[in-house]
Amino acid sequence: MGSKRQTVVLFLAALTVVLSSPLINELQPGEEWPQRNSVRQPVADDQTEQTLTEDFSTDDPAPAAVVEDAIIVAKTIERDHEPKKIDYSGSQVWQVSTTKSGARQVIGRLRRRNLISTWGGNQSSVDILIKPNVVENITRVFKRESIDYNVVIEDLQKRINEENPPLDNDEIELQDRRGHRMTWKQYHRLEDIYGFMDYLAKTYPSIISVKSIGKSFEGRDLKILRISNGKSDNKAVFIDGGIHAREWISPATVTYFIYQFAEYFDVESDDIKGIDWYFMPVVNPDGYEYTHTVDRLWRKNRKPGYRACTGTDLNRNFGHHWGGKGASNSPCSEIYRGSNAFSEPETLALSEFIKSSAANFSAYVTYHSYGQYMLYPWGYDNAVPPDYKDLDNLGKKMAEAISKTGGSQYQVGSSSGLLYPAAGGSDDWAKSQGIKYSYTIELSDTGRYGFVLPTSFIVPVAKENLAGLRVLASQVIKE
Ligand SMILES: [Zn+2]
């Protein structure tokens, strides 16, 4: 125990050193880019060798199932230290109506027995993931109980295989010439995302800087990119993505914002130019990499918990009403809150950065998926902050801009009101720090693909959300 405390003290000391150093471009002059052959491109198909796939993960649970702790252990066979990818062949995703009384209880029971896991959900339905061997069984149960459902995804592995195809040769050649490998035609590995951020800092040193604010549990950098015209009285906006590992559209969208603002800064609106932007596209890099290498549907970070149960839900680990409703104290749960508030290096680094920053943050926006919601505090309980009308009004304007630009409909409301209580979220904490406009945005889609959104969606989703972000910027500038 003592050594643990020592570790924490050492970590805090290291963090203080890191935080007190100025924002600088990390890439030293003359430093070479990684060679192409060191970069793994996604493979088109499976890794051919068969994998053992008894289990899978769950997501934000439906209200009824919130505190139930299904023990879900992703089983992988390790050979030659290469973890095997989890295979979801035959797993299905159903959208289940919960309007009939008792439906939530039935779903909760199935979940406790580890026969299903929940993905997204709202007040009238829940999306559930069903293992191949129990599809018939669950069908019978729902028929018997007269619970309506639609099969949304018939074979999850098929969708995963089609989701993120490799780039074609022309595109790869372009990547080589550009000096970074980032595109919005693919869900990229962390190395490409960070390489892109460093490239921008090197290319536009007068407005862009990159800084690592700490390390993830497995030792990966936690990188933030800042865009600023350097004026000292600017308002600031903090934007993050990838708190939940499997929500790939989130880092893709946030990096698209970075791309737009960085590459077109000179011709950007005065609103955009007049704000100090802080982007942290991958808050959970360990989890993100894990979704690429082992389990496409991993949600939490990768810190070992109890026995075979790994990971904390970073969006239950923030310190405003930590440990309240909609968060679990079981390390095996998909919504495990951690051993205490900010027990995780990722949430601790993020919160310390915001707290110790001299930036004048007026807005905090965290991108998740899926469901198309624009959510504001509070999440911890069915309550709203005194100025919620301002958040509601701006949220509606952002949703309107999104709809006008790309046609997607986003619902606006408080997290607890529109969905269900979930304590320990980053938006609640940001709000508690006095950051007025604090939102969680659940990106596309509304369930057809869920987390496994094909790459063709990246640009449309990012573009329409950029329109929403511009509305937020103009409000921030006005105040
Ligand atoms: Zn999420």
Question: For residues 331 and 73, what is the distance between their CA atoms, to the nearest angstrom?
Answer: 11
Q: How far is the CA of 168 from the centre of ligand 1 (A)?
A: 30
Give the confidence band of 358 by pLDDT, cuts at 50, 70, 90.
very high
The average pLDDT across 366-388 equals: 97
Q: What is the CATH number of the domain that holds 198?
A: 3.40.630.10
The average pLDDT across 315-341 equals: 95
pLDDT of residue 7: 57
Q: Is residue 56 part of a domain?
A: no
Q: How far is the CA of 28 from the centre of ligand 1 (A)?
A: 34
Q: Is residue 112 part of a domain?
A: yes
Got the DSSP string for 268-291?
Answer: S-HHHHTEEEEEES-S-HHHHHHH
The average pLDDT across 252-280 equals: 97
Q: Is residue 75 part of a domain?
A: yes
pLDDT at 235 over 90: yes
Ion ligand 1 neighbours (CB, 5 A) are 244, 368
Q: How far is the CA of 29 from the centre of ligand 1 (A)?
A: 37
Query: Which domain covers residue 80, as residue numbers?
Result: 63-86+90-154
pLDDT of residue 82: 66
Q: How far is the CA of 243 from the centre of ligand 1 (A)?
A: 6
- What percent of the chain stands above pLDDT 70? 83
pLDDT of residue 9: 55
- Are 143 and 248 in the same domain? no
Mean of per-residue pLDDT scores for the chain = 86
* Helices of type H across 73-155: 103-112, 135-144
pLDDT of residue 305: 84
Q: Is residue 447 part of a domain?
A: yes
pLDDT digits (tens, 9 = 90+) for 75-122: 444 445 667 899 999 999 999 999 999 999 999 889 878 789 889 888
pLDDT at 37 over 50: no
- Are 187 and 305 in the same domain? yes
Give the confidence band of 172 by pLDDT, cuts at 50, 70, 90.
confident
Q: Which residue has the tokens 């990229």?
A: 188
Give the confidence band of 34 by pLDDT, cuts at 50, 70, 90.
very low
Check residues 436 and 19 and name the one with the higher pLDDT: 436
Q: Is residue 317 part of a domain?
A: yes
* Catalytic residue flag (residue 263): no
Question: For residues 195 and 206, what is the distance between their CA atoms, to the nearest angstrom?
Answer: 18
Query: How many structural domains compose the chain?
Result: 2
Which residues touch 406 (CB under 8 Å, ≥6 apart)? Answer: 460, 461, 463, 464, 467
Q: How far is the CA of 175 from the centre of ligand 1 (A)?
A: 30
- Are 98 and 184 in the same domain? no
Catalytic residue among 218, 442, 464, 479: 442
- Are 344 and 264 in the same domain? yes
Q: How far is the CA of 301 from the centre of ligand 1 (A)?
A: 12
How do strand 275-280 and strand 221-227 relate by DSSP bridges?
antiparallel
The average pLDDT across 429-458 equals: 97
Q: Is residue 40 part of a domain?
A: no
The beta strand positions in 202-338, using DSSP E, are: 208-215, 221-227, 235-241, 275-280, 304-306, 309-310
